[in-house]
Amino acid sequence: MKTTTLLKDATARIITAVILVSIALPALTAQDPLAGTITYQQVLHFTFENIKEAHGDDARTQDWITSLPKEGLTVQVLNFNSKKALFEEDESEKEATPPGMQRAIMYESSLKPASPVVQKVYCDFDKNQRLEQLEYMTRIFLVQSEIEAVAWKLGSEKKKVLEYTCMSATVTLDDQEIVARFSPEIPVSLGPSDYGGLPGLILAVERNGETAYVATSVSLTPPAEESMVKPNKGSKVTQEEFKSIQEEKEKERKENPGVENPHR
């Protein structure tokens, strides 16, 4: 009789455990797709090499360049879930650029081909589409393309970023040697700006040996939908159309330089 009672109690406990697991599994499964918010510090490096080259014998200009900051910092945020992602600058952390620095950057830009400034990067994973909001020559463009694979070469170096162990991967893009530090502990193929396509979240990026992006915080709490709104400001163009615009603007720049040395 006692044995029968013990068997009944054991069976009841097993049934209860199965029921609890059955209830818990759907909740766990619903949370499986990773989502979160990653905050990055972007490091901008200023060398003003074109100004130095153009005015190498001008001591006053050289002194002016020497007095300017060599780095600038911005705060960028990546919000993502299983369907979409948005990377953009945190406007609440944005600081005004000093007037002297603005003049130097403008003059430096006039001496070389203009580069588009990435303002936002939006990804639609269901459609495999990327939409970049770019500022180029004072105009805003929305450049649409497919999310394409990058020919990363995986390395053996490991490095800690925050509390995450990161692997390394390298690729050459636009004559720049890019090193990405990604963590398989966060299994999403995303990263800052338009970097991605690795088996783990990219937490740091280096260009030509200098830090470009580094994560300062990681939250794996699903972000609000309003933090991942598709950009709609700017002229919509394809990558091919945008390339043609760049070529035309570069031709105009060479024919009409326009900007003079602001420190002469």
**Residues whose CB falls within 8 Å of the CB of residue 232, separated by 6 or more in sequence, listed in order:** 142
pLDDT exceeds cutoff 90 at 263: no
pLDDT of residue 41: 96
Tokens standing for residue 242:
């945008």
Question: Lowest-confidence range among 12-26, 68-82, 168-182?
Answer: 12-26
Tokens standing for residue 52:
């130095």
CA–CA distance, 80 with 125 (Å, rounded to integer): 10
The angle formed by the CA atoms of residues 67, 176 and 230, to the nearest 5 degrees, is: 90
Average pLDDT over residues 97-113: 64
Domains, the chain, ordered by start: 39-255 (2.50.20)
**Stated pTM of the model:** 0.77
pLDDT exceeds cutoff 90 at 138: no
Specify the DSSP class assigned to residue 124: E
Specify the DSSP class assigned to residue 162: T
More confident residue, 129 or 102: 129
Contact in structure between 65 and 48 (CB atoms under 8 Å): yes
pLDDT of residue 229: 97
Local confidence band at 47 (pLDDT 50, 70, 90 cut-offs)? low
